[in-house]
């Protein structure tokens, strides 16, 4: 994840139209950035709405004795994103 997030205008508009709770979505993104900054290369962050990324992380985790923990923004086909991090 980049320090200064950028999103194409069209995608940004689409996200806002589909937001159930914009504040929660932005807060979750910021929390993921903080986790990545603190954990560095010991964690992999991926989008589970991308079935290829989700399968790669799942397959990698299943093939390792000590897999990297994965943080995600949901599960495939979720209608609302959620974060697999404990609430603060």
pLDDT in tens, 20-34: 888 888 898 899 889
Residue 30 is part of which domain span? 9-72
The answer to whether residue 40 is domain-embedded is: yes
The answer to whether residue 17 is domain-embedded is: yes
CB 84 within 8 A of CB 77: no
For residue 55, CA distances in Å to 37, 78, 79 come to 24, 15, 19
The answer to whether residue 66 is domain-embedded is: yes
The answer to whether residue 15 is domain-embedded is: yes
The answer to whether residue 29 is domain-embedded is: yes
Digit-coded pLDDT (tens) for 51-83: 888 888 878 777 765 555 555 555 444 444 434
The answer to whether residue 2 is domain-embedded is: no
The answer to whether residue 86 is domain-embedded is: no
> Total domain count for the chain?
1
Q: DSSP letter for 40, please.
A: G
The answer to whether residue 83 is domain-embedded is: no
């Amino acid at each position: 994840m980049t320090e200064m997030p950028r999103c194409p205008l069209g995608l940004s508009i689409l996200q806002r139209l589909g937001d159930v709770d914009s504040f929660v979505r932005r807060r979750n993104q910021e929390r993921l950035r903080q986790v990545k900054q603190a954990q560095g290369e010991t964690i992999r962050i991926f989008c589970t709405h991308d079935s290829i990324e989700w399968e790669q992380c799942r397959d990698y985790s299943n093939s390792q004795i000590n897999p990297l923990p994965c943080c995600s923004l949901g599960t495939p086909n979720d209608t609302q994103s959620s974060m697999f991090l404990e609430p603060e």
